[in-house]
Structures are given as structure tokens and as C-alpha cells.
Amino acid sequence: MINEDFIDKRETFVDYPLSKLTLDEYTPKQKAQSSEYKLYAIINHHSYSQYGGHYTAFIKIEDNLWVHCNDHILTCVTEKEVKTRDAYLLFYRRTVLTATNVINLTF
């Protein structure tokens, strides 16, 4: 949105997966290999403007346990708390699934 003094930041919530993000439909097919991505960090931007604001981060330290980093203050939070409309950058780590991995996981 354009205002005379500044450009407004969109505050729309965008839902994103914490795990099992797949991009298979957007990437070339490979033999017996698929990739899933797990979210491990989020950078948040808190502001109503693109020209300023405050940045915080969520970092996953183990399954279902995240840390909220706000300057020098670190707070443990749950997975439910990391999905906010302030999410600015999402960091995913690839987990490669091969036929061998799937067989080993299921038996």
C-alpha cells in the first residue's frame, strides 16, 4: 500500500509448514529420490513500515522446542507460537528421502 509518507507493510498472515515442505511439483523428477524440508529458523520483522522496525528470530533447537531471540532476551516457545504474521525470512533444511531410507524407516 502506498501512503504519501511511506509504503505500508503488508500484515497478511501467510501459512507455512514447519516440516514436510516438498517442492517436487516445482522441480525436475529424479529417480527414486524426493526431498522434504524442515523449518529450523525464522526471522521476524515487527513494524508497520518497510523503512524501519525491529527484528527478532525463532530458532529450533530440538523437536518441538524453539527459542525466541529478541535482542539479548532468549525465551523458550512452542511450535504454535512461531507462526506469526511478522515472519519475514524462513530457513529450511533439506531431508533427502530415497527408496532405501523409506524402506529402513518403515521396517
Q: pLDDT digits over 17-53, tens only?
A: 998 898 877 777 765 566 789 999 999 998 866 677 8
Q: What 3-state DSSP class applies to 27?
A: coil
Q: pLDDT digits over 40-99, tens only?
A: 999 999 886 667 789 999 999 988 899 999 999 999 999 999 999 999 999 999 887 666
Over its C-alpha atoms, the chain yields an Rg (Å, rounded) of: 18
pTM: 0.74
Three-class DSSP labels, 28-93? CCECCEEEEEEEEEEEEEECCECCCCEEEEEEEEECCEEEEEECCEEEEECHHHHCCCCEEEEEEE
Max CA separation in the chain (angstroms): 63
